[in-house]
Amino acid sequence: MINKKSVLIKILVLFLLLNFTLYPATGIEFEKKILENTLHNEVIKELQTEDVSPGDIIDISFSNSYPTLGKPIEILITLKGNPFGEGFDEMLNISDDYEGLIAKSNRIEWKSASISLDQVLVKIGRLPMYIKKIRWYPVVVGNHTLRFTTGSFPSQTKNISVGFDTENIIFPSIGCPSIINKGESEELSVALSEERHSSEDTIDIQHTKLESIDGSSTYVLDNQSDIFYTWIHAGEDKVEDELVISYDIDSVPYGFYNISVTTSKDNYTWPHAVKIIDEEPVEYTFVHLTDIHIGKRYNLINEKEELASVINYLNEEIKPDFVVMSGDLVDWYQIIGSRNFFKDLQDVIVTCNSPVFTTPGNHERYKYGILHLYFPFYNLSHYHSYLNPLNDYAFEYGNMNFVLLDSGYDWSRWEIQVKIWTISPEGSGLTNNQIYLLENEWGNNEMNQSIIMHHPAISEKDDTGFLFVPDDHPSGNNECIAFNRVELIEYCLANNVSLVLTGHTHRNKVFNYLGEEPNDLYEWPIFVQTDSTTLNGLNNGGRVVRIKDGNIESYDYVPLTYDDFFLT
């Protein structure tokens, strides 16, 4: 007998969740406000002028005039309708000319490019106007000129700046450390972001220090070799200073260091941010951990303690050159009582004897976690403040190139199944900008490459969830990135990518580019899903990847804790 009351409650909950997922409150209020604005007398007057033709853009508005990294914004484009004529299709093209900060190879540089953001078909009918809503996920901090073009009409442009959502040392950090090869006379590149009133003096650095992680020695860096400075708009009468300085570290011995920068306004610090080595090894090991989920509700496992046990095992047994953590490192970011899950994570990471590189997942964005009801928030400010101000970056080590990518926020959340609790969120995926930067900045196909991100690119089956993005690739896309999935796969096939390391699914799976189990474990590129590091009791672990002469020798999943036999 089916409990009708229970079914009704589930349907109601599903409706509310879908309504919130598909139409966030801020988006509804924003669209309502824009609709009101477009009906303003001045817009109506413009509609009536002879020089505005059907299909022309008559208004462009942003949900946030001063967006920050990691938060998507809505762009509403209003086009004139054709009340007295026939309907037609209009192609809306959006491009981005930008200058911004790009992190790669132990440096942050100010780069410029022009890319296509989107191409959208708009059906123009007999209404006075038509509004098209575009979600823009900015991935480059800097100055952007967005260009909107319909058909052969002259393009309209909007200038907008994208800033960081934290005042701090932007690079290096605990989650994006700098490994400096002193044998190659490499310099330490430090990037700083600080906000001020537009009438105040520009950023002023008083001193930069490196302190050994055991606190035994401190080195003041005052031999600046290169300085880059710019500023961007951060609000009404507010600007954000962006400063990149290079330091000669010849006088600093090999070791692992915390970094601090003192300005006339504040003191900024990151632990475990700089590792100085004498030379890069020919043979080395790194470890891939994922889906730690510190703070998971209704769970008997203490994820912080489990991670501490894994890190202890790495320190004593594996001794990797570095560790990569691919998202869902906390279960949700809200501080409960005195417990801050990001602070818990940081407390454990600083016990690691190896540098740790991170990339965000979908859970770092969540504010609440009640059973499976994780609402798709987009806030990465806690991740940026406690772990890593950067979402995407690349670094080279031991004749390999490593690219870490933000695979986005929840996109398709709910599978079409009888049980509404079966949650399988896909990631929004990669933007056109990320693909461009992968091809032109972060990637280096002259050496072996590995890409690390949270959501997979390949599965054995296709997604059937709401808002799923179909494609004609032979591999499955369930629980994968939604946008630019095929483009990423094609990049991997053509550009010497050996491993794509991901998490998200809490499974250990290995696929070739067709979504099949490979006949040969060296059938590059290999697409790997790695199980949760902390949620499996004695089997807690991760991928141990061994490299020799720039080639991957193994990438096995290995338990990384001592079992009862070793404890006795």
Instruction: Determine the distance from the C-alpha atom of residue 417 to the mean position of all C-alpha atoms in its chain, rounded to a whole number.
Output: 30
Q: How far apart are CA 241 and CA 231, in angstroms?
A: 4
Q: Three-state DSSP class for 255?
A: strand
Q: How far apart are CA 480 and CA 460, in angstroms?
A: 11
Q: How far apart are CA 62 and CA 67, in angstroms?
A: 9
pLDDT single digits (tens) 202-252: 999 999 999 999 999 999 998 888 899 999 999 999 999 999 999 999 999
pLDDT single digits (tens) 549-562: 999 999 999 999 88
DSSP 370: B
- In the chain, where the domains are located: 26-162, 166-279, 280-567
Q: How far apart are CA 421 and CA 417, in angstroms?
A: 9
Instruction: For tokens 């200073």, name the residue.
Output: 241
* Out of 5-14, 42-51, 402-411, 422-431, least confident range: 5-14
pLDDT (mean) for 64-84: 94
Question: What is the CATH topology of the domain spanning 166-279?
Answer: Immunoglobulin-like (2.60.40)
pLDDT single digits (tens) 109-137: 999 999 999 999 999 999 999 999 999 99
Are domains 166-279 and 280-567 of this chain identical in fold? no
Predicted structure pTM score: 0.90
pLDDT at 40: 43
- Inter-residue contact 456 to 502 (CB < 8 Å): yes
- Inter-residue contact 276 to 252 (CB < 8 Å): yes
pLDDT at 370: 61
Token readout for 483 is 């946008």
- Inter-residue contact 387 to 347 (CB < 8 Å): no
Its CATH architecture, for the domain 280-567, is: 4-Layer Sandwich (3.60)
- The yes/no answer on whether domain 26-162 falls in CATH 2.30.29.30 is no
pLDDT single digits (tens) 162-176: 999 999 999 999 999
| pLDDT band, very low/low/confident/very high, at 372 (cuts 50, 70, 90) | low
pLDDT at 374: 63
Reported as half-sphere exposure (CB side, CA atoms, 13 A), residue 78 has a value of: 21
Q: Three-state DSSP class for 2?
A: coil
The pairing of beta strand 400-404 with beta strand 107-124: unpaired
Reported as half-sphere exposure (CB side, CA atoms, 13 A), residue 38 has a value of: 23
State the Rg of the chain over Cα. Answer: 25
The pairing of beta strand 448-452 with beta strand 400-404: parallel
Tell me if the bond preceding 525 is cis, omega within 30° of 0: yes
